[in-house]
Amino acid sequence: MARLARLLGAATAVFGAATAACPEIIARPLGLAEEDGTVSPRTRLLIELIGFRDVAVGMGMVVAPRGAPLRCLIAARAVSDAGDAFVLGRSLPSPASRVLGVGMAGGWAVLCAASAATAGRPEAPFRRPRRPGSAPG
C-alpha cells in the first residue's frame, strides 16, 4: 500500500511546478521578495531549480515500483527537505520567515520519511489467471 507516498509525490510535483512557474508563491511568505513584491533574477533562479527538483523527485515517487525504488525516492525527498529546512533556518531574513521555512520544509521531510513505511514490498508480477480445467504452465 504505497498510496500515501504516491499522494505526497504528486503533491510535491504539483507544488514544485507551481513554484517553478511562479516563484513569488514561496518567495513572498519566506521574505525573499523585494520590497515591491518582485523576485530578483537570482532568487527566481534558485526557486525555479528547487521547483524542478521537486517535480522530478515527486513524479518519481508517483511512478516508481514499490519497494526499494520507491523508498530510495522517498529518502531523496526527505533528505532534500531536511536540507532545505537546515538552510532556510539559518539563512532567511527574519525569525518569522525562518520558523515558517523550517516548519514547511521540515514538516514535509518528516511526512515523506514516515511514508516510507507504506512503500511496501515489490509488486508481484502479473499472472493471467488460469481457466478452470486448463493445464498449468
Task: Identify the pLDDT of residue 119.
Answer: 85
What is the domain extent for residue 101? 3-19+52-118
- SS3 call for 29: coil
- Is residue 129 one of the residues assigned to a domain? no
Query: What is the rounded distance in angstroms from the CA atom of residue 55 to the CA atom of residue 49?
Result: 10
- Is residue 87 one of the residues assigned to a domain? yes
- Is residue 126 one of the residues assigned to a domain? no
- Is residue 31 one of the residues assigned to a domain? no
- Is residue 32 one of the residues assigned to a domain? no
Q: Is the pLDDT at 120 greater than 90, yes or no?
A: no
pTM: 0.83
pLDDT band at 118 (very low <50, low <70, confident <90, very high): confident
Identify whether the C-beta of residue 134 lies closer than 8 Å to the C-beta of residue 27: no
* Cα Rg of the chain, angstroms: 20
- What average pLDDT is seen over the chain? 91
Q: Is the pLDDT at 134 greater than 60, yes or no?
A: yes
Q: Point out the least confidently predicted range of 12-16, 20-24, 78-82, 124-128.
A: 124-128
Task: Indicate the number of domains in the chain.
Answer: 1
- Closest alpha carbon to 119 in 43, 61, 37, 80: 61
